[in-house]
Amino acid sequence: MSIDRVILFVGPPGSGKGTLSQKCVQELDWDKISTGDLCRQHIENQTEIGKSIDFAIKSGKLVSDGIVSQMVFEWFRDNENDSRVVILDGYPRTVSQAKTLDNLAETLGDSAEIIIAKFVIDDQAIVDRLENRYICKNKECQRVYSLKASSVLAPKKDMTCDNCDTELIKRKDDNSDAILERLKVYHLHENDLLSHCQKAGYEIREFESNLPIDQLFVKFKENMGE
């Protein structure tokens, strides 16, 4: 395995994690995995993990921390990987997932470092962002856009993806009440999660993410020595 670095993206929904990781993939040739994508792949391939995820979703339950961690480790174990840097978007999400970071470090071997990138932005800015967020309907693409006036993330053609020409859609839960509810739950977990990571000795780097994405990308690159 040739991975030098795994960067764990931790931040509230709407803090720009997804867009930033997309840019890192496109412009720095990094690799990115998100637990949501892993879940979908397992369900599609009907693996044992996929079947338990499917069962959990159909019974209206959350996918357990154990399953999420197992998927992440298996990805690193099974993927012949040429990328120097891999971003994990949205993991760890809970203290119990964070407790398994040592196993991840073990899977990766001594030569790889684990860095936690924490994205900070105030709630009102997030509500503002998410209310204007649209995503590409194409499951293989899912590029994120903003319909906010003058945003650099605006699509070139009205309501159409620049990348694959598919229609843009709004997620049902991107409205202010639902967003504030999601943020409340998020903040509840974030403190515990980060204080656990700190105690366990993982390096945490903080990024103010209420910036246009291009500026955030420049700052992030600099900080990561790219």
What token pair was written down for 146?
């903003």
Strand partners, 167: 160
Strand partners, 144: 135
Cβ 132 to Zn ion, closest distance in Å? 18
Cβ 24 to Zn ion, closest distance in Å? 18
Cβ 37 to Zn ion, closest distance in Å? 15
Q: Which is nearer to Zn ion, 151 or 166 (CB)?
A: 166
Judge contact between 33 and 86, C-beta under 8 A: yes
List contacts with Zn ion (CB under 5 A). Answer: 136, 138, 141, 143, 161, 163-164, 166
What 3-state class would DSSP assign to 222?
helix
How far CA 222 is from CA of 17, 84, 85, 112, in Å, comes to 17, 17, 15, 20
Q: Which is nearer to Zn ion, 62 or 169 (CB)?
A: 169
Q: Which long-range contacts (CB under 8 A, 24 or more apart) does 50-56 make?
A: none
Beta strands in 44-197 (DSSP E): 85-89, 113-120, 133-136, 144-146, 168-169
Q: Which is nearer to Zn ion, 5 or 133 (CB)?
A: 133
Cβ 163 to Zn ion, closest distance in Å? 4
Q: Which is nearer to Zn ion, 160 or 210 (CB)?
A: 160
Cβ 161 to Zn ion, closest distance in Å? 3
Q: Which is nearer to Zn ion, 118 or 133 (CB)?
A: 133
Q: Which is nearer to Zn ion, 32 or 118 (CB)?
A: 32
Cβ 175 to Zn ion, closest distance in Å? 23
What 3-state class would DSSP assign to 23?
helix
Torsion of CA 211, 216, 218, 224, to 10 degrees: 150
